[in-house]
Amino acid sequence: MAMMNPCTVYLFHGQGGVCFNMTQMDQISELNTEDFTVAVEPGVTRKTLNNFLRGSGLWFPVDPGADASLCGMAATAASGTNAVRYGTMRQNVLNLRVVLPDGKVLHTAGQNRRPRKSAAGYHLTGLFVGSEGTLGIITQATLRLHGIPEATVAAVCAFSTVKAAVDTVSLFSFSIPEFLDDVMMGACNRYSGLNYPELPTLFLEFHGSEHSVGEQVQATGEIVKSNGGSDFAWAREQEARNQLWTARHNAWEERNPTTDTRQRVAMCASLSPRKLHPTFLLQGYSTDVCVPISRLPEILLETKKDMLESKLTGPIVGHVGDGNFHCLLIHNPADEGGRVAEFAKRLGRRALAMDGTCTGEHGVGLGKRQLLREEVGEVALSTMRQIKAALDPKNLMNPGKVL
């Protein structure tokens, strides 16, 4: 296996496991600015790549919030705020170099291949994207880059109800809409010293040419108005945009490396009406369902009701253009962990009952194996298991996960 940098191997004697630290495999190679392609090793994060691309006019837009490893993002089919416009990792990985369980090196689309489309045999790239390390170890990803838009405009508007906010989103065809509920807006106000109305709020971003962005902003403003939204605060320059989006950034660590999980928990906890626990005992648990967009208002309302009845605290943030949202449940695992787990399971089943998925972008891991079975059914699960058994007959790769 050709490796540019070593990876460190850790042995877990207790459970018989082995863990690979690949942060030092950090080569960025094969940048082609004409074809909008680049190859990255597992140690390369999305911010590192975008810094590397500075000045080229290109960027990699998939943004799951954290400054994650791009190969890890491929392994988990990550997406985030920009997916509604640029696609998830599924649409932005052209090729993967994978070490298979038998030690052979697989290039999912063939070595060095990077055409924008192909119909050559089974779509192995698509199979390995989202396989969560259970089929092999990704040691390089060839990615599709995008042109940095000529103009970007950010906008914020509040609504009196969740339904009004979310119904509005389905009328947009171009913006990148993010939803923050009243609870999250309250948390952001207290944590960041802001003064937003504590109402269901849409944060929007528009990308395009100068003209088309202006047109998008105008059309969206009209839709917002006719759906009872507040006046439309908008910003064009990077700094003003950052200021406007401060709440959204802080809400989910996005683009703000200083807001670590502990701080986010503290931020969300700051609004808890139940000051039962010292902050240091609290943890955050994020849900991740995704439903067809028409079902979003219904599931958001039912979920907020359930949260209230379950006596849980959890602001809601959503990539609502894709029908995907997260509740960040702030809880003390010692005495609320059980209730959180039950709530999350009910939420997963609620999404399944609405033709949705229990995981839009976080993956299955250990926690959602039962929900996966309910979501895809026995035949699909058994098909996945046949593939796993065929490619990893000794069950060496991330055993026990997903299936």
State the alpha helices, DSSP H only, in 118-181. Answer: 124-128, 162-169
Task: Look at residues 105, 111, 114 and name the one whose alpha carbon lies nearest to residue 142.
Answer: 114
Q: Which is nearer to a copy of itself, 235 or 376 (CB)?
A: 376
Regarding 219 and contact with a copy of itself (CB under 8 A), the answer is yes
> Does residue 397 contact residue 133 with C-beta atoms inside 8 Å?
yes
Regarding 221 and contact with a copy of itself (CB under 8 A), the answer is no
Residue from 249, 264, 304, 362 that binds a copy of itself (CB under 8 A)? 362
Please list every residue from 290 through 329 that binds a copy of itself, using CB under 8 A.
290-294, 322-324
Integer Cα distance of 358 and 371 in angstroms:
7
Sequence length of the chain is 403
> Does residue 140 contact residue 125 with C-beta atoms inside 8 Å?
no
Residue from 152, 381, 396, 399 that binds a copy of itself (CB under 8 A)? 381
Q: Which is nearer to a copy of itself, 281 or 384 (CB)?
A: 384
Residues near 359 by Cβ (< 8 Å), separated by ≥ 6? Answer: 288, 289, 290, 368, 371
Smallest separation, CB 106 to a copy of itself (Å):
5
Please list every residue from 36 through 75 that binds a copy of itself, using CB under 8 A.
37
Q: Which is nearer to a copy of itself, 264 or 362 (CB)?
A: 362
Task: Look at residues 203, 239, 237 and name the one whose alpha carbon lies nearest to residue 220.
Answer: 203
Residue from 8, 29, 32, 238 that binds a copy of itself (CB under 8 A)? 32
Task: Look at residues 176, 214, 213, 220 and name the one whose alpha carbon lies nearest to residue 61.
Answer: 176
Residue from 123, 262, 305, 311 that binds a copy of itself (CB under 8 A)? 123
Residue from 190, 387, 396, 399 that binds a copy of itself (CB under 8 A)? 387
Q: Which is nearer to a copy of itself, 204 or 290 (CB)?
A: 290
Residue 180, φ and ψ in degrees, nearest 5 = -125, 130
Size of the residue set binding a copy of itself (CB under 8 A): 87
Integer Cα distance of 236 and 249 in angstroms:
17
Smallest separation, CB 113 to a copy of itself (Å):
6
